[in-house]
Amino acid sequence: MLRVVGLQIGLISFAVLFQELLLIRWLGQHVRALAYFPNLILIASFLGLGIGSIAEGRRWIGELWGPGFLAVVGAGVLLGRFVITQESASEHLWLLYYDLPPTAPVIRGLRIPLLAMFLLTAVSFVPLGRALAERLQVFREAGQPLNGYLWDIGGSALGALAFALVSFLGTRPLVWFLVLAVAVVVGHRRQSRAIVAVGAVVCVVLSGLYDRADVYSP
């Protein structure tokens, strides 16, 4: 029983680190202004995990990863169609939009799009935080909290290493999203895997359809 829960902790922790790094790299490509503020994604992920971990008694929150992650991916794709500029002589963010048509809509100012992406990113991590906290509680109740944290740390380390590997191999976002989808779906309960899988599949498809880059640097 504890070994199964431990494997779930490892997979969810793997997904947390992999998702953090994926969003930092992928969102920075689509929402160009975010490339200047990568720590916003990191802070948002910690916020979402923290909120999820203290949402005691709300197990259903852990099953909403699909809609939450789809929201942040959909917003990234949508904002990727906009030119976002900063009204300042020292900022030339619009110079990065040579691949968009001259008729692309313009958002003047960074605050609203960056705040929107920050909040949506945080929301996408709340279900993972809830699912992780629930399983760590099983180890606490069994009197083995340190073993639960060992699974947590091990999964996190593997998630970071896995993203480093797929980046080194020059893979495309389709591969990144597919790896994340498998980890999240397998790490969830069987009763909720269908709901999680639907959101995961849609995100994988979107990552492939809206991939405009020629090459990804390792």
pLDDT at 105: 82
The string of pLDDT tens digits covering residues 130-147 is 989 989 999 998 889 899
pLDDT of amino acid 89: 56
CB atoms within 10 A of CB 88: 10
What percent of the chain shows pLDDT beyond 90? Answer: 52
pLDDT for res 214: 83
User: What are 38-51's pLDDT values in tens digits?
Assistant: 899 999 999 999 99
Q: Name the percent of the chain lying above pLDDT 70.
A: 92
For the cut 90, the answer to whether the pLDDT of residue 21 exceeds it is yes
Instruction: For each of the domains in the chain, give its residue range(s) and CATH number, in order of start.
Output: 2-209 (1.20.1250)
Find residue 85's DSSP bridge partners.
Answer: 108
Say if residue 56's pLDDT is above 70.
Answer: no
The rounded distance, in Å, linking the Cα atoms of 174 and 167 is 12
What value does the mean pLDDT of the chain take? Answer: 88
In this prediction, residues 175-193 reach a mean pLDDT of: 85
- Mean pLDDT to the nearest integer, 107-123: 91
Which pLDDT score, from 0 to 100, does residue 213 have?
82
Quickly state the pLDDT bin for 27 (edges 50, 70, 90): very high
Is 0.95 topped by the overall pTM? no
Nearest to 56 by CA among 105, 129, 122, 1: 129
For residues 152-174, give the mean pLDDT.
95
Q: What is the mean pLDDT of residues 201-218?
A: 88
Q: Please write the tens of the pLDDT for every residue from 72-113.
A: 999 999 998 888 887 665 666 656 777 777 788 888 888 889
- Asked if pLDDT for residue 57 goes beyond 80, the answer is no
